[in-house]
């Protein structure tokens, strides 16, 4: 489950913790790195965090052949499959977001992701042929997954890829474990997706959203909230002078091509931030603004029009 992080974290630590115990933990998981900054006297057992991340990877990874999701992807079409409660809940939530976003969030497009070289099979050096795209497209949508009472059935030979929600879920789970240890004020980051709890010695936690052209990051204050960013400038390949990014328009089966440079979504749940940011990046700024207003989401959009970057804030100060 590899996903490129697009958030530049600005911990702004200088002078903040002179009289307070600070614990900094770093590690690796899900094909990326993670970090935890915790304030207070309680200590975090990193082994517990690492074990939980291994469990999550063992459920949701498409890079791990023996993961539960990989086994589901290999399961026969038309057969009911019992799945873990954790996978069932995430699949159910994914279907709900698919419906909310008019299909722009669609984790059933795993075959397209693999075909274009953004999955576990590795990168491409040229665009796939039209016939290949059409074949993969026929077997690419979460609507071909039936669900009932803890079991699922594929009615077409789809491959599910939950990368656009599972890493956010992992952030939520790490935050839950830290709270269980008695720590209230902390910040968790996994591969650029962040959740902030409590405060940074009386102040909000501050993160910075990456700007185009190496401009200064855009500061965002967080308190008891998460932020996830999706963008078109990290994970892509170029063929015959054209740039193909890793986020797809599920209605065409092609990499999305619109006016958005990046989308950042703030939400109480990191899994939801993750999913909504991906959907908005796929749909373009006009539909993203409509969706944000409809669902009352807090969103930062960066658009590129005629080489001019525009920052659009929705429900942000």
Residue 20: predicted pLDDT = 57
Per residue in 176-200, pLDDT (tens digit) is 999 999 999 999 999 889 999 999 9
Could you read off the pLDDT of 16-70 as tens digits, one per residue? 444 457 889 999 988 889 999 999 888 899 999 999 999 999 999 999 999 999 9
Ordered by where they begin, the domains of the chain are 7-314 (3.10.520.10)
DSSP calls for 14-34: TTTSTTS-EEEEEEEETTEEE
The Cα-based distances of 258 to 195, 231, 233, 301 in angstroms read 28, 11, 13, 13
Predicted local confidence at residue 243, as pLDDT: 58
Which conformational region is residue 241 in: left (phi greater than 0), alpha (psi within -120 to 50 degrees), or beta? Answer: left
Q: Token digits for 131? A: 């016939």
C-alpha distance from residue 172 to each of 20, 122, 195, 291 (Å): 25, 28, 7, 23
Whether the predicted pLDDT of 4 surpasses 80: no
The two tokens of residue 314 are 């929705």
For position 245, what pLDDT does the model report?
66
Q: What is the pLDDT of residue 274?
A: 94
For residue 246, the model assigns a pLDDT of 74
Q: Of 205, 227, 249, give the one whose Cα is nearest residue 298.
A: 227
List Cβ neighbours of 50 (8 Å cut-off, separation of 6 or more).
27, 29
pLDDT of 217 reads: 87
Question: Percentage of the chain surpassing pLDDT 70?
Answer: 88
pLDDT at 118: 82
List, for residues 60-116, the tens digit of each pLDDT value. Answer: 999 999 999 999 999 999 999 999 999 999 999 999 999 999 999 999 999 999 998
Give pLDDT tens digits for 149-174.
999 999 999 999 999 999 999 999 99
Output the pTM of the full model.
0.91
Rounded to the nearest integer, the mean pLDDT of the chain is 88
């Amino acid at each position: 489950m590899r996903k490129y992080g697009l958030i530049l974290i600005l911990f702004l630590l200088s002078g903040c913790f002179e009289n307070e115990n600070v614990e900094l933990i770093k590690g690796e998981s899900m094909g990326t790195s993670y970090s935890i900054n915790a304030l207070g006297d309680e200590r975090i057992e990193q082994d517990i965090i690492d074990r939980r991340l291994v469990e999550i990877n063992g459920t949701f990874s498409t890079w791990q052949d023996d993961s539960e999701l990989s086994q589901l992807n290999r399961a026969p079409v038309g057969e009911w499959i019992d799945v873990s409660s954790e996978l069932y809940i995430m699949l159910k939530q994914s279907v709900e977001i698919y419906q909310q976003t008019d299909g722009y969030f669609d984790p059933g497009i795993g075959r397209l992701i693999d075909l274009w070289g953004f999955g576990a099979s590795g990168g491409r050096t040229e665009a796939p042929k039209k016939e290949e795209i059409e074949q993969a497209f026929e077997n690419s949508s979460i609507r071909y997954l039936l669900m009932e009472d803890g079991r699922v059935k594929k009615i077409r030979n789809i491959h599910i890829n939950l990368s656009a929600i599972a890493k956010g879920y992992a952030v939520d789970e790490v935050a839950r474990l830290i709270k269980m240890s008695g720590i209230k004020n902390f910040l968790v980051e996994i591969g650029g997706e962040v959740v902030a709890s409590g405060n940074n010695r009386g102040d909000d936690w501050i993160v910075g959203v990456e700007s185009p052209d190496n401009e200064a990051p855009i500061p965002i204050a967080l308190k008891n909230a998460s932020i996830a960013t999706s963008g078109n400038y990290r994970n892509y390949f170029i063929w015959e002078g054209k740039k193909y990014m890793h986020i797809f328009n599920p209605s065409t089966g092609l990499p999305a091509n619109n006016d958005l440079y990046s989308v950042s979504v703030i939400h109480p749940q990191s899994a939801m931030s993750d999913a909504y940011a991906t959907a908005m990046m796929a749909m373009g700024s006009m539909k993203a603004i409509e969706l944000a207003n409809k669902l009352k989401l807090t969103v930062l959009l960066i658009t590129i029009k005629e080489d001019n970057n525009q920052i659009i804030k929705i429900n942000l100060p």
